[in-house]
Structure 1
């Protein structure tokens, strides 16, 4: 029988094991992360559910069913430094409870798997969705090989220390075989559900992201002897971008962030010769996202011309908007309706492993539970215990519904045969969904 209160108690136990006064410390490939994994393995051993680590370091637990056709419930145990007690691990421990419940009823009609994705956060090496991207096939070993943490430790060495070989990571894609659907529960990490007074939400998809650098190049000059009207101040042009990105975001109902600003020579007695800012833009609609980036470039060129400086653009990373499977969104909404009496559908601003699974063509959906104050990646991250329990109940109901959906609609079909999973958001449907915010 499903016991949502047990999930709450296990979350608290994991917090005690892997956290401190500053928050969660389950950074991927560290001792605390290994301790979290050992905690999960102990729970699986007690149930007699076997598990194995794939070539990328993802941990898979398998509850064998009458059919090899598989439904996966996923999450991640890793955290950011000084993170919250729920981000990622709620997904895994709620999924564990669902497996317990289904196991108690006898052999299920299909196989169920619980996956703990390795390094969802990217907190240590700056590359989010490491394990799930290896699974999806959107993974380049040579790019990964260049990554180092702040202490200069290469990702490849950190992986080797926990028994993972980087060059083998792409083999994780072989794990897609027989998977018919994927479910993920997560805290919202934002203020929408709390603002609406709702405990749970059905997630439409994950927004697309464009990340770039914008570098303005002017001329260093003495800050005391150079008149204001003849300066080639790179920071002047960069500073104008701060207000501009808010206007771009407003025009498109998206979000834009300048996350960092670096100046050279970086001394108080010199006009700024070079200024580099990083730009993060997000939208659920691919065309709006492309327009936002184009408008940012146009504005940067305009500000550079006004300031008599030059501008260059650098690519950091991007991912297209990913819409989840409409049938599974409906199933999720129904499970929430049955659990909470009211449901809201919303997009996810943060990225999640679910996006990579959907990119692989596997029908996917996410379930959100309200975050207090909309805060995450912080030790004050929290969700009401009654809402946590409701989310576990809803995940259980969703799992039962999707098992039925798989049996009726997806039995024996591979990911390439599934429709509407992980497709880029179109202009019309994406905008309509974005307006649900």
Structure 2
């Protein structure tokens, strides 16, 4: 049997019809439509000589036994954000399904090959991304996860119970990686780089490290009519000056910075702002540059606060170190792409992916990116040219063969 990327394209369209609506994909983790999407995948797997099971965290595994107990993992996630795109996550799983079909028809592979659909990669419902892969990677705090609630007040623990998963058992998913020798993941880029270069495919160098913090400027409330401008201690002014500086910080360190929210108190039109809290997200592929970005941000915030007669305090939200992918698998990914198209391009991933948690657990890892039109994702207009989708499935298949050979050296 030869690979049939057109079948993957057809299955992606079928899944879109089954689990989407006029606003986009609705495969939010642990909802009824997520269960429907999972059944769509398991029904396809039923035609293959694979062992299928759900692990202690809710990740779905399909195992094609090979000559060796060493395992090559191909991963993705079928869950989506609300009103999401038709390719984010599910391209990974359905392309991996097609690779499994090709391998199973050709006989026993040299190593065991496993397809995994990670549970709740997006974190859209409970605010904690990479839940399933974090559990498998040994990086989960059950006590913290028990505190998570969705917008309707439903806890993660309750949501998992509804689909037959016990949160307290989630750390046992660590067993799934005990024989893992390599991990591959195909994903849409979700950004504009490949389209800007006119290239369909790229090799991912790693995922950005992330620093997320709150920065709170403290001034003094005062009447907006009777207080002269030169004596105001305006917390919002200090925050506004700082917001411009983050662009210079990002450029200086070749990273990205985002102020995602801004809350003011007392929050009325007739008062100078007494308190202004912003959230800052900083990302970089190099750990020392990421650390320098946060140091520069604190220094700038302190400077603008003092200049405006204010003070500033800092709070921690979340952080993860940069995750660099395996250099030999990066070379293998480039070689696989170059068998399909004339040019490959190496680029970092700004968004996080399950691949980061798998690599963090010590498994040699690499990702392939396929071009995203307009660089848009997490949106119903997310799209990729069909020809590029077909090429991405071929590239993943070539990379699978290369990686099996690399494992067996």
Hey, what does 1:273 align to over in structure 2? 274
How far apart in 1 are the matches of 2:56 and 2:159? Answer: 14
State the shift of 1:226 in Å: 2.2
Given that 2:255 and 2:284 are in contact with CA atoms closer than 8 Å, whether structure 1 keeps it comes out as yes
Hey, what does 1:400 align to over in structure 2? 401
How far apart in 1 are the matches of 2:231 and 2:152? Answer: 42
Residues 340-366 of structure 1, C-alpha deviations (whole Å, 9 max, x = no match): 121111111111000000000000000
State the shift of 1:48 in Å: 4.0
User: Is 2:149 the counterpart of 1:126?
Assistant: no
How far apart in 2 are the matches of 1:222 and 1:197? Answer: 55
User: Is 2:36 the counterpart of 1:16?
Assistant: no
Residues 225-248 of structure 1, C-alpha deviations (whole Å, 9 max, x = no match): 222222221111111121100000
How far apart in 2 are the matches of 1:77 and 1:293? Answer: 34
User: Is 2:202 the counterpart of 1:201?
Assistant: yes
Residues 258-278 of structure 1, C-alpha deviations (whole Å, 9 max, x = no match): 011111121212221211111
Give structure 1 stretches of 5+ with no counterpart. Answer: 409-437
SS of aligned partner of 2:305 = helix
How far apart in 2 are the matches of 1:48 and 1:103? Answer: 7
SS of aligned partner of 1:9 = helix
Hey, what does 2:234 align to over in structure 1? 233
Aligned residues, how many? 408
SS of aligned partner of 1:98 = helix
User: What TM-score results when the alignment is normalised by the length of structure 2?
Assistant: 0.98
User: Is 2:223 the counterpart of 1:222?
Assistant: yes
How far apart in 1 are the matches of 2:218 and 2:18? Answer: 49
Hey, what does 1:68 align to over in structure 2? 69
State the shift of 1:111 in Å: 0.6
How far apart in 1 are the matches of 2:364 and 2:43? Answer: 30
Equivalences for residues 256-295 of structure 1 within 5 A: 256-295=257-296
Residues 134-161 of structure 1, C-alpha deviations (whole Å, 9 max, x = no match): 1111111111111111222211111111
Query: Which deviates the most, 148-157 or 98-107?
Result: 148-157
How far apart in 2 are the matches of 1:332 and 1:283? Answer: 22
Hey, what does 2:97 align to over in structure 1? 96
Hey, what does 1:29 align to over in structure 2? 30
How far apart in 2 are the matches of 1:164 and 1:384? Answer: 37
User: Is 2:148 the counterpart of 1:147?
Assistant: yes
Hey, what does 2:255 align to over in structure 1? 254
SS of aligned partner of 1:41 = helix
Query: Which deviates the most, 69-78 or 40-49?
Result: 40-49
Hey, what does 1:415 align to over in structure 2? none
State the shift of 1:202 in Å: 0.8
How far apart in 2 are the matches of 1:266 and 1:29? Answer: 37
SS of aligned partner of 2:339 = helix
Hey, what does 2:369 align to over in structure 1? 368
How far apart in 1 are the matches of 2:242 and 2:163? Answer: 43
How far apart in 1 are the matches of 2:60 and 2:130? Answer: 14
Given that 2:49 and 2:64 are in contact with CA atoms closer than 8 Å, whether structure 1 keeps it comes out as no
Residues 278-326 of structure 1, C-alpha deviations (whole Å, 9 max, x = no match): 1011111110110000000000111111111121111111111111001
How far apart in 1 are the matches of 2:304 and 2:361? Answer: 40
SS of aligned partner of 1:271 = coil
How far apart in 2 are the matches of 1:263 and 1:150? Answer: 23
Hey, what does 1:345 align to over in structure 2? 346
Hey, what does 1:424 align to over in structure 2? none
State the shift of 1:217 in Å: 1.4
How far apart in 1 are the matches of 2:242 and 2:233? Answer: 16
Moved over 6 A (4+): none
How far apart in 1 are the matches of 2:137 and 2:268? Answer: 45
Given that 2:49 and 2:104 are in contact with CA atoms closer than 8 Å, whether structure 1 keeps it comes out as no
Query: Which deviates the most, 83-92 or 168-177?
Result: 168-177
Hey, what does 1:391 align to over in structure 2? 392
SS of aligned partner of 1:46 = coil
Give structure 2 stretches of 5+ with no counterpart. Answer: none
How far apart in 2 are the matches of 1:287 and 1:339? Answer: 36
How far apart in 2 are the matches of 1:387 and 1:259? Answer: 32
Hey, what does 1:158 align to over in structure 2? 159
SS of aligned partner of 2:168 = helix
Given that 2:216 and 2:277 are in contact with CA atoms closer than 8 Å, whether structure 1 keeps it comes out as yes
User: What TM-score results when the alignment is normalised by the length of structure 1?
Assistant: 0.92
Hey, what does 2:320 align to over in structure 1? 319
Given that 2:219 and 2:273 are in contact with CA atoms closer than 8 Å, whether structure 1 keeps it comes out as yes
